[in-house]
Amino acid sequence: MTPADGPARKPAPGAGRARVLVDLALQGGGAHGAFTWGVVDRLLEEDWLEIEGISGTSAGAMNAAVLASGYAKGGRDGARAALEAFWRRTSDAARFSPFQRGPMDRLLGNWTLDNSVGFLTMDLLARMISPYDVPSFGPNPLEEVLRESVDFEALAAGPIKVFITATSVRTGRARIFRNHDASAQALLASACLPQLFQAVEIDGEPYWDGGFAGNPTLFPLVNELTSDDTILVPINPIERPGTPRAARDILDRVNEISFNAVALKELKMLALLRRVADPGKTEGASWARMRMHVVRNEVMVGLGYSSKLNAEWAFLTMLRDEGRKAADAFLAEHGAGIGVRSTLDFDSLLQGV
């Protein structure tokens, strides 16, 4: 789908009104980031929404950098075209990956890699062998995809501010890369899972996946931008029904909880500050003024961890279409509230606190 042959634009409630400055917070999640592609593709169709900045982690950071680079060179349509080209290149690069669905899953229409020999082998080895014990076979193929998909000079000078989160291995703290120091290496660092990849070194410092320190990080959106409206696009389910019992399901749920923990902590802090701070005073004012909006994501509950490594074009475009549907529903339900009030129920975040 390209801007030229894609679906007709669907105006949201309030379309035609004065522009509303917003920022985006994009979670990471491997191939599941194609859902976010669909969400932002739909949001870019709304001329009244002006994106001031984007905070992203892992696949969310890649979506952010590609969008901002494309926007700097070709506006909204340039951003949409750049995102499609990036995900197409990602799928093409994974065409001969060992992570492929088995025949039965293809026949049944399952997107899981749970029965993939390549995935099962990798999953077993990752629990016993360090990535430093395995010989390197050259650069990460995703590095070339990123260099082809992001014009880092255009990104550095572009109007959309980008915040890419990686986790310092040495300190455990978040490192935020901004437009001027964004690079393919920074994006790879933001997506570096330590069980699978050696740490990415930048200026002599090793980095792992940004999800450990912020998925995504919210504070630069609050402290460095003018916008008071943040649209959060989650990937990892916060709630799952039932209790996982299989070893892999338990590990998957632990990972989801871990990668959601920091973002939930920041949202709870925001909720507390909104309750106690005076928006008219300097201290805590920016946090107290923030209006939060969340695009509902119900498709991920039906997808397991292994499908985050499934880069088949049919899977990616399915997620894109689900993301567009979710954005449609979000705009229909909450579009009129953007720029006016927070549509996230902050009180629910403070239950049990």
Three-class SS string for 51-109? EEEEEEECHHHHHHHHHHHHHHHHHHHHHHHHHHHHHHHHHHHCCCCCCCCCHHHHHHC
Is the distance from CB of 294 to CB of 334 less than 8 angstroms?
Answer: no
Q: Which residue has the tokens 């389910």?
A: 237
Angle of helix 141-149 relative to helix 59-93, nearest 10 degrees? 110
Distance CA 123, CA 126 (A): 5
pTM: 0.87
User: What is the helix (H) or strand (E) element at residue 275, kind and residue range?
Assistant: helix 247-276
Q: Mind listing the pLDDT tens digit of every residue in the chain (353 residues)? A: 444 444 444 444 555 678 999 999 999 889 999 999 999 999 999 999 999 999 999 999 999 999 999 999 999 999 999 999 999 999 999 887 777 787 777 877 888 877 777 777 777 777 778 888 877 666 788 999 999 999 999 999 999 999 999 999 999 999 999 999 999 999 999 999 888 889 999 999 999 999 888 888 888 998 899 999 999 999 887 777 778 777 777 877 787 777 777 777 777 777 776 666 655 555 555 666 789 999 998 888 888 888 888 999 999 999 999 999 999 999 999 999 999 998 987 666 666 54
CA distances from 138 to 90, 135, 159 (A): 17, 9, 35
**Helix, strand, or coil here: 284?**
coil
* Region label for 172, one of left (φ > 0), alpha (ψ between -120 and 50) or beta (otherwise): left
Q: Which residue has the tokens 């749970």?
A: 114
User: Which DSSP letter does residue 3 get?
Assistant: T
Q: Any idea what the Cα angle at residue 216 is, between residues 203 and 329, rounded to 5°? A: 145
- Residue 277, both tokens: 């701070």
